[in-house]
Structure 1
Amino acid sequence: MNIQRISAADTLQLRRDVLYPNESLQAVKVDGDDDGLHFGVYEGTQLVTVVSLFLQGPEAQFRKLATHPGCQGRGYGKAILAHLTDFCRAQGVKTLWCNARNTAVSFYEKLGYRTVGDYFTKQGIVFVKMQIPIESKIMPSFEIIPAIDIIDGKCVRLTQGDYNQQKVYNEHPLEVAKEFEALGVKRLHLVDLDGAKKGAVVNWKVLENIAGKTSLVTDFGGGIKTEKDLQIVFESGAALATIGSVAAKEPELFFTWVKQYGPEKIFLGADVKEEKIAVGGWLETTGLSVYDFLASNIAQGVHHIFCTDIAKDGLLQGPSVDLYKKILAQFRGINFVASGGVSNIDDVAVLKEIGCSGVIIGKAIYEGKISMAELKTFL
């Protein structure tokens, strides 16, 4: 089963065949279709379920939920409604509703929907409004996530992603990780810069060492391009896989991984240069807007996201607060972590204040701009 965004035109055949078999395709179009969001469930290459969603501020209405007659009773309708709920939650929607046929009331009631108002008849069919409140997921407290970037097995930092501007801070990443653990840090962001440049995971032994000898919840990225890379990362002890380039360049493959491993195991990296997505260890800038990139991935259930503004990274001149505010305003409810540019503890406080779920910090720690004592106040 694969749930993905589809076009309004893609919904029409199932809409007609299931809901209005005696009507034309043109007749089953609804007002606002062009402005709606449309989702489909695929089983292999077959489109088996469709639904259309219309956002209305704090509310959202879904319409024309239809499952192929030969595929009913297999959980496709339940799955796509769960997907809509997660999507709406990420958009800050508080109530999801529909006009349900009276024959479907018991189905919706089992999913937690409740009737509102009286039954009514339209085109000879009896309907009733049904709705469900969307509770905000309890987000983790603001997280301090130190970064360890690896080249040749050593802890380094780059400036603005430039491999020619690297500085070695410690030849033993495990020692650094243990220092963070002793402070009370729970998370670690581990980046395989060799892997990012090569296009395949290289420094998996560093991950294995840290995961095996600390209790840190470690996400690992850099060079994850294939299923084999992903397996290596998880087998080496990563709690989450950090993926950016594949999500931008091969979204269908990435969505397959999200489905296979679950969104809780994926940490989506949005590396940005002038609000465009950069890939390949920041060596290539695409024409893809960060907002379009995030929207398409959130629609697939991704909700652990971090964003790095390359122009800020490693310069110790402050984070891209305005960019993060725009993202947080557009995509409410996501677990959004800021990265890049943090220069002092006040920057950390600002990021927490604007609604970030956490911050990845590297150079500011290694250069002594933020002391361990200051970090501890956020732990």
Structure 2
Amino acid sequence: MLIFPAIDMKDGECVRLRRGDYATAQKVAENALQAAQSFEADGAKWLHMVDLNGAKDAHPVNASLVFQVAQNTGLKVEIGGGIRRMDTIEYYLNSGIARVILGSAALNNPDFTTEAIRTYGDKIVIGIDARDGFVAAEGWLETSSVDYIAFAKQMEQLGAQTIIFTDISRDGMLSGPNLEMLDKLNRAVSCNIVASGGIRNAKDITALRKLGLYGAICGKSLYSGTLKLADAVAAAGGQNEA
């Protein structure tokens, strides 16, 4: 199982939120590059980055930080937040980013999502962020009436190969991942499922691995010290570069 350390960017700084609330933003590292280099030194192969300003403004805001990380580390970088256009996807992928994540756009613009998947295949990841089982969008500021399982099946039909699932109520809370929702999702679709939100320690990683998931995103736990990246990688069965 892959481990994805996370870097969330807001106003040029490396921050973490609680349950997606922008008002709770707390600086957790001096800068994105320094954090990324530390993760790489501890055994990471992949890095999950989110442009929080971009998610709200519907266009890239912190792209320069993303490129700085990609160009100055050996990490494979995936980026989400504010990706609504084909030229934005091309902009990222042509600049050394490994994968882009579609969240709000996947929910609100299935034609765009279809075109993106058809054009870029497995370089497109679908982010499904759920509040009480319903898909949220626009930086988690809006919640739809779309069930997360139904939406995942729709994305699978479009050809999506990887889905990142976040239970918003667990995000940044160190309360443990929602194993029940993740297991249900993993059984419902053939896509690779990446768990996000709530991971606290190596026991959580072990539990996710037992579900047969593709990967796990770790953010708050790494910055707060409840989980060491090396321990996460070990609990995941060793880091590969899938």
What CA RMSD, in Å, does the superposition of the two structures yield over aligned residues? 1.1
1:355 CA displacement: 1.2
Q: Which residue of 2 aligns with 1:339?
A: 196
1:285 maps onto 2:136 in alignment: no
Counterpart pick for 1:273 among 119, 125, 131: 131
Counterpart pick for 2:4 among 138, 145, 148: 145
Q: Which residue of 1 aligns with 2:42?
A: 183
Q: Which residue of 2 aligns with 1:247?
A: 106
Asked whether the 8 Å contact 1:143–1:359 carries over to 2, the reply is yes
Asked whether the 8 Å contact 2:43–2:229 carries over to 1, the reply is no
Aligned length: 236
1:1-379 to 2 correspondence within 5 Å?
142-262=1-121, 264-331=122-189, 333-377=190-234, 378=236, 379=238
Residue ranges of structure 1 left out of the alignment (5+ in a row): 1-141
Corresponding letter in the other structure for 1:334: C
Aligned counterparts of 2:134 and 2:201: Cα–Cα separation in 1: 26
1:376 CA displacement: 4.2
Select the structure that is richer in strand. Answer: 1
Corresponding letter in the other structure for 2:73: T
1:256 CA displacement: 0.8
SS of structure 2 residue aligned to 1:230: helix
Deviations 1:150-195 (A, max 9, x none): 0122110000000000100113110110111111210100000010
Aligned counterparts of 2:70 and 2:117: Cα–Cα separation in 1: 22
SS of structure 2 residue aligned to 1:299: helix
SS of structure 2 residue aligned to 1:287: strand
Aligned counterparts of 1:345 and 1:228: Cα–Cα separation in 2: 39
Question: What TM-score comes out, normalization by structure 2 length?
Answer: 0.94
1:227 CA displacement: 2.0
Corresponding letter in the other structure for 2:179: V
Aligned counterparts of 1:300 and 1:351: Cα–Cα separation in 2: 26
Aligned counterparts of 1:151 and 1:143: Cα–Cα separation in 2: 25
1:337 CA displacement: 0.6
Identity of aligned residues (%): 37
Aligned counterparts of 1:210 and 1:313: Cα–Cα separation in 2: 24
Aligned counterparts of 1:199 and 1:169: Cα–Cα separation in 2: 24
Tell which has more relative contact order, 1 or 2 (C-alpha 8 A, sep 6+).
2
1:229 CA displacement: 2.0
Deviations 1:323-375 (A, max 9, x none): 011111222x3211100000111011000001111100100000000024423
1:291 CA displacement: 1.1
Deviations 1:294-338 (A, max 9, x none): 11110121111110000100111110000011111222x321110
1:233 CA displacement: 1.8
Aligned counterparts of 1:207 and 1:325: Cα–Cα separation in 2: 31
Which portions of structure 1, spanning 4 or more consecutive aligned residues, are displaced by more than 4 angstroms? none
**Rg larger in 1 or in 2?**
1
SS of structure 1 residue aligned to 2:115: helix
Corresponding letter in the other structure for 1:322: E
SS of structure 1 residue aligned to 2:37: helix
Aligned counterparts of 2:153 and 2:233: Cα–Cα separation in 1: 34
